[in-house]
């Protein structure tokens, strides 16, 4: 039989946390090609920015994504600070690193749980989400909210982490490190998990580069590219080295994220240790006039903010390029040749965030 | 897989990680942004909070109308921007989550 069948995968599918449709052309059980259909959760945030002043826009950028919200606000605030020539105090730069890394931790844990769910390992899903809860509680205690922190502002940050917060953070990280060691390490060696991930959704280094993939998707294929290498915020002072794997399959992407979780824990510890005493924000006067491109590393990869102000209090234009948008072409290159049963695992392996993509 | 045996035993002997929520509530974490309150005795009804609010959740009226300060809890995103800009420091965020289902919500 060589008839082509078209199967709509999504927009509502048990493994998809958000709506995206992949129209899969199948020959028997093998995918021949895939066509993505996006546009289910477009919210018009870039247009909304034109009606808010540039300080209120911080709250909009935090709501672009429900998982890496703080990192979005860091990208935006860094862009505005570049336009306006604001020098951020050193302590604020370290605090931005700490909250960015807690976001990376809970994002990777969430993704790990969803991946376990996608290959039918419900128990692992629950175990990981239980461990993730500690990070959310930590964010609530140090920043005042569980996911959308609201602590980043133009000119610095709003809250400081005092000695109590520091002790709590270190205690939570110790516990979390144990949890990750207990859960993740046996899972990486587990036969069932390897059967569902090793060699699945393989993509070569060259093709990954051509398709412009970013973040863990690119790093799992051997491209040592991580925006944190540029040393924005305080990353330049924390001896950061990107995590790289070379296999380019779902297992490599899982390995990269597990290693990044451990790396995030280490980065937060270093940041807490080296954080200097200084004010946490500087007052900002005037309106942004000029344009800039701000790039930071999110859990899913590189996010690009283009900001243009014309001297008024509202921005003239804001454009966001999110990592999932850059990773979808790579996903389409992974799917041909895959079994239909492996499509959910491959789709989740790029950590798709559709609300970000459509903004 | 043998490494999970300790985990399994722990799951059998320990309490669940979740709480029977509406009956048993977690104590609020200090510093959490739960709900917004105003001290009307200090407020001068300048309206700065309502101008800066990113979601237009606040409405303030002053003379010649009667002085009033109203909050639409369904629009409020608890960002705390109003607390920062208030010149008299009469606004504050309390850690308990507001119960907006009742008419006399906090």
How do the domains of chain B map onto residue ranges?
28-98
What is the distance, to the nearest Å, from the Cα of residue A271 to the centroid of all Cα atoms in its chain?
20
- Pick B1's closest partner by Cβ from A141, A150, A190: A190
Cβ-contact A157, A143 below 8 angstroms: no
User: Which among A52, A59, A130 has the least Cβ separation from residue B77?
Assistant: A59
How far apart CA A345 and CA A41 sit, in angstroms, is 22
Phi and psi, residue A325, nearest 5°? -60, -40
Q: What is the pLDDT of residue A17?
A: 77
- Residue B6 pLDDT more than 80? no
- What crossing angle do the helices spanning A163-189 and A122-143 adopt, rounded to 10°? 170
pLDDT category at B102 given cuts 50, 70, 90 is low
Q: Which helix (H) or strand (E) holds A311?
A: none
Q: Do A158 and B84 touch (CB under 8 A)?
A: yes
Q: Which structure tokens are listed for B75?
A: 């629009």
- Which helix (H) or strand (E) covers residue A7, if one does? strand A4-9
Q: What residues does A220 pair with on adjacent strands? A: none
Per-residue pLDDT for chain A (359 aa), expressed as one digit of tens each?
Answer: 578 888 888 788 877 778 888 888 888 888 888 888 888 888 888 888 888 888 889 998 988 888 888 999 999 999 999 998 888 999 999 999 999 999 999 999 999 888 888 877 788 888 888 889 899 989 988 988 888 888 888 888 988 888 888 899 999 999 999 888 888 877 888 787 888 888 888 888 899 999 889 989 999 988 888 888 888 888 888 888 888 988 888 899 988 999 999 999 999 999 998 888 888 888 888 888 889 999 999 998 899 999 998 888 888 888 998 898 889 899 888 888 888 888 888 888 888 888 888 88
Residue A123: HSE in the Cβ half-sphere, 13 Å Cα cutoff? 9
* CA distances from residue B90 to A96, A220, B53 in whole angstroms, order as listed: 29, 52, 15
What are the chain A neighbours of B81 within 8 Å (beta carbons)?
55-56, 59
Structure confidence at residue A278 (pLDDT): 87
Bridge pairing between strands A30-37 and A21-27: antiparallel
CA B43 to chain A, closest CA, distance in angstroms equals: 23
What is the model's pLDDT at position A293? Answer: 93
Q: The tokens of A144 are what?
A: 């005042």
On whether any CB of chain B is under 8 Å from the CB of A190, the answer is yes
pLDDT in tens, B41-100: 888 888 888 888 988 888 888 888 888 888 888 888 888 888 988 888 888 888 887 776
| Neighboring chain A residues of B76 at a CB cutoff of 8 Å | none
Give the separation between CA A154 and CA A358, rounded to whole angstroms: 25
Q: In terms of Cα–Cα distance, which of A40, A44, A99, A114 is closest to A68?
A: A99
- Which pLDDT does position A94 carry in this prediction? 92
How far apart CA B54 and CA A78 sit, in angstroms, is: 20
Which of B6, B31, B54 lies closest to A52 in CB terms?
B54
> For B29, which of A140, A148, A150 is closest by C-beta distance?
A140
- The secondary structure of A208-220 as a DSSP string is HHHTT--HHHHHT
| Long-range pairs, B12-20, Cβ under 8 A, ≥24 | B17/A130, B17/A133
Residues of A in contact with B79 (CB under 8 A): 59, 150
What are φ and ψ of residue A191, in 5° steps? Answer: -65, -45
Q: What angle do CA A35, A120, A194 make, to 5 degrees?
A: 85
Q: For B13-36, what is each residue's pLDDT tens digit?
A: 888 888 888 788 888 888 888 888
Query: CATH assignment of B28-98, given 3.30.70.20, 3.40.640.10, 3.40.50.11260, 3.40.50.300?
Result: 3.30.70.20
The span from the CA of A157 to the CA of A275, in Å, is 14
Closest B-chain CA to A130:
B17
What was the pLDDT predicted at B40? 82
Task: Name every chain A residue with its beta carbon within 8 A of the beta carbon of B7.
Answer: 127, 182-183
Task: For B5, name the nearest residue in chain A, comparing CA atoms only.
Answer: A182
Contact (Cβ atoms closer than 8 angstroms) between residue A101 and residue A267 = yes
User: Residue A2 CB: number of other CB atoms within 10 A?
Assistant: 5
Of B32, B77, B84, the CB nearest to A144: B32
Tell me the residues of B at the A interface, defined by beta carbons under 8 Å apart.
1, 3-4, 6-7, 17, 29-33, 52, 54-55, 77-81, 84, 93
Contact B29 A141 (CB under 8 A): yes
Give the number of domains in chain A: 1
Is there a contact between B17 and A130 if contact means CB atoms under 8 Å apart?
A: yes
All residues of chain A having their beta carbon less than 8 Å from the beta carbon of residue B3 are 182, 185-186
Residue of A nearest to B2 (CA): A186
Helix (H) or strand (E) holding A35: strand A30-37
List the domain range (segments joined by +) for residue A147.
Answer: 4-358
Q: Are A141 and B79 in contact (CB < 8 Å)?
A: no
**Residue A124 Cα, gap to closest chain B Cα (Å):** 11
Which residue in the set A130, A140, A182 is minimally distant from B32, CB to CB? A140
Q: What is the CATH number of the domain that holds A188?
A: 1.10.645.10
Query: How far is A320 from A75, CA to CA, in rounded Å?
Result: 10
Q: Which residue, among A325, A353, A331, has the nearest Cα to A343 in the 3D structure?
A: A331
Select the residue of A127, A141, A186 nearest B3 (Cβ to Cβ).
A186
Q: Is the peptide bond before B64 cis (omega within 30 degrees of 0)?
A: yes
H or E element in which residue A9 lies = strand A4-9
Q: C-alpha distances in angstroms, A208 versus A108, A243, A338, B18?
A: 21, 16, 17, 41
- Classify A99 as helix, strand or coil: helix
Backbone φ and ψ of A247, nearest 5°:
-70, -35
Predicted local distance difference test score (pLDDT) of residue B43: 86
Which CB contacts under 8 angstroms, 24+ apart, belong to A107-113? A107/A67, A107/A68, A107/A298, A107/A299, A107/A300, A107/A351, A108/A257, A108/A258, A108/A260, A108/A261, A108/A264, A108/A299, A109/A135, A109/A261, A110/A67, A111/A257, A111/A299, A111/A348, A111/A351, A112/A184, A112/A254, A112/A257, A112/A258
pLDDT at A79: 92
Answer yes or no: do A127 and B78 touch at CB < 8 A.
Answer: no
Contact pairs from chain A to chain B, CB under 8 Å = 48
Q: Which residue has the tokens 């493994």?
A: A15
Check CB contact under 8 Å for B80 and A190: no
Q: Cα distance from A245 to chain B (closest Cα, Å)?
A: 25
With contact defined as beta carbons under 8 Å apart, do A305 and A320 qualify? yes
**A234: distance to nearest CA of chain B, Å?**
25
* N-to-C CA span, chain B: 50
Chain A: closest CA distance from residue B93 (Å): 10
């Amino acid at each position: 039989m060589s008839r082509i069948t078209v199967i709509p995968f999504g927009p509502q599918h048990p493994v998809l946390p958000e709506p995206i449709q992949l129209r899969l052309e199948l020959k028997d059980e093998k995918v021949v090609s895939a066509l993505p259909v996006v546009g289910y959760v477009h919210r018009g945030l870039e247009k909304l920015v034109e009606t808010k002043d540039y300080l209120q826009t911080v709250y909009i950028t935090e709501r672009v994504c429900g998982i890496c919200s703080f990192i979005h606000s860091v990208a935006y605030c860094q862009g505005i600070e570049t336009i306006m020539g604001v020098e951020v105090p050193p302590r604020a730069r370290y605090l931005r690193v700490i909250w960015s890394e807690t976001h990376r931790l809970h994002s990777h844990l969430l993704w790990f749980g969803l991946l376990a769910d996608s290959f039918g390992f419900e128990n692992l899903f629950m175990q990981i989400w239980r461990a993730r809860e500690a990070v959310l509680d930590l964010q609530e205690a140090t920043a005042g909210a569980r996911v959308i922190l609201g602590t980043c502002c133009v000119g610095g940050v709003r809250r400081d982490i005092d000695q109590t917060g520091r002790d709590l953070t270190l205690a939570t990280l110790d516990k979390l490190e144990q949890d990750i060691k207990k859960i993740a390490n046996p899972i990486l060696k587990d036969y069932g998990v390897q059967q569902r991930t090793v060699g699945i959704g393989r993509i070569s280094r060259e093709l990954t580069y051509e398709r412009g993939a970013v973040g863990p998707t690119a790093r799992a294929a051997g491209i040592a590219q991580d925006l944190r290498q540029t040393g924005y915020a305080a990353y330049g002072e924390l001896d950061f080295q990107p995590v790289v794997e070379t296999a380019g399959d779902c297992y490599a992407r899982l390995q990269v994220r597990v290693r990044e979780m451990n790396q995030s824990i280490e980065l937060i510890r270093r940041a807490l240790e080296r954080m200097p005493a200084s004010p946490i924000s500087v007052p900002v006067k005037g309106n942004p006039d000029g344009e800039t491109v701000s790039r930071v590393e999110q859990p899913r990869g590189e996010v690009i903010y283009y900001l243009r102000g014309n001297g008024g209090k509202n921005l003239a234009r804001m454009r966001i390029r999110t990592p999932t948008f850059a990773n979808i072409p790579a996903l389409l290159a992974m799917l041909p040749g895959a079994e239909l049963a492996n499509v959910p695992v491959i789709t989740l392996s790029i950590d798709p965030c559709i609300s970000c993509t459509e903004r | 897989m043998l490494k999970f045996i300790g985990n399994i035993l722990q799951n059998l002997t320990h309490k669940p990680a979740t709480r029977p929520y509406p009956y048993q509530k977690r104590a609020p974490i200090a510093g959490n942004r739960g709900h917004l309150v105003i001290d009307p005795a200090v407020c001068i009804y300048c309206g700065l909070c309502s101008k800066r609010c990113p979601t237009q959740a606040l409405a303030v009226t002053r003379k010649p109308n009667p002085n009033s300060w109203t909050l639409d809890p369904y629009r409020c995103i608890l960002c705390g921007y109003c607390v920062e800009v208030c010149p008299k420091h009469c606004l504050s965020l309390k850690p308990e989550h507001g119960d907006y289902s009742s008419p006399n919500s906090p």
